[in-house]
Amino acid sequence: MKIAPSILAADFANLASDIARVAGEVDLLHVDCMDGHYVPNLTIGPPVVAALRPHTELFLDCHLMVDNPGRLLGAFAEAGADGLTVHVELGDPRPLLSEIASLGVRRGLAFEPETPFDAVEPFLGDIDLLLVMSVHTGYGGQAFIPEVLDKVRAARKLIDAEGMAVEIEIDGGIKADNAAVAAAAGVDILVSGTGIFGADDPGAAARAIRAAAS
Ligand code: DX5
Ligand code: ZN
């Protein structure tokens, strides 16, 4: 199991030191980029990704909750993003996915809790990562929606049956107490924001989530 702390729940005034507290315990850093349009919240853009880049060698897993990702993909890649994930709710993702591929970074496709698996299934051959939202995008600290695990199971089954090289990531409300059910459903990467950075010892919290999932 890979663990991806969401820096949305870190202290934005001390990002580098918060990242250093978890770096030895995690596999990627999840970066929640919100534009104030796709979601009401406004968070991180390419300048912050560029500022983080010299402070960590961890994979920067950028989750774009923005209305018009096409305008930003190049800037995020230039800033040092390792993966760019766009939402299927915006419409046909293929032009965005091919641009992400041409930038040489990992292609991700996300879908909201209410969006059916059928909406992403046609694009599994065009992606490296499927991001299953287990809360509604916009804010950290929301409660996990267990019904989305059916979509994880459906994705796991198809990806394995077809031998596709697609990782499944789950995002929202993940803590040590639900890491095991997510793992059993077939998740490869657990994103956790408040579950890690909200803890007194974020490194120990990341370890506990990994232990619960294995
Ligand atoms: C929600 C974000 C999530 C969020 C997860 O829009 O995509 O990545 O930061 O935070 P927690 O783990 O607190 O639910
Ligand atoms: Zn996210």
For residue range 99-115, what is the model confidence (pLDDT) as tens digits?
999 999 999 999 999 99
Contact 184, 146 (CB under 8 A): no
Q: Which atom of ligand 1 sits closest to the CA of residue 195?
A: 12
Q: Which atom of ligand 1 sits closest to the CA of residue 30?
A: 8
Active site residue 32: yes
Cite the beta strand spans of the chain per DSSP E: 2-5, 28-34, 59-65, 83-87, 106-111, 129-133, 167-171, 189-192
Q: Using alpha carbons, list the distances in angstroms from residue 147 to 1, 22, 36, 150, 159.
A: 21, 29, 27, 6, 20
The amino acid present at 151, given as its one-letter code, is K
Cα 156 to averaged position of ligand 1 atoms, centre (Å) = 22
How many CA atoms lie less than 13 Å away from 204 in the CB half-sphere? 4
* Beta carbon of 172 within 6 Å of any ligand 1 atom: yes
What local confidence, expressed as pLDDT, does residue 131 receive?
99
Q: Using alpha carbons, list the distances in angstroms from residue 188 to 66, 153, 199, 201, 208.
A: 25, 12, 23, 24, 16
What local confidence, expressed as pLDDT, does residue 81 receive?
98
What local confidence, expressed as pLDDT, does residue 171 receive?
98
What local confidence, expressed as pLDDT, does residue 206 receive?
98
Which residue's structure tokens are 């299934």? Answer: 121
Active site residue 171: yes
Which residue's structure tokens are 């209305």? Answer: 67
What local confidence, expressed as pLDDT, does residue 149 receive?
98
What local confidence, expressed as pLDDT, does residue 205 receive?
98
Cα 30 to averaged position of ligand 2 atoms, centre (Å) = 6
pLDDT under 70: residue ranges of the chain: none
What local confidence, expressed as pLDDT, does residue 178 receive?
98
Q: How does pLDDT run across 53-110, given as a tens digit for each residue?
A: 999 999 999 999 999 999 999 999 999 999 999 999 999 999 999 999 999 999 999 9
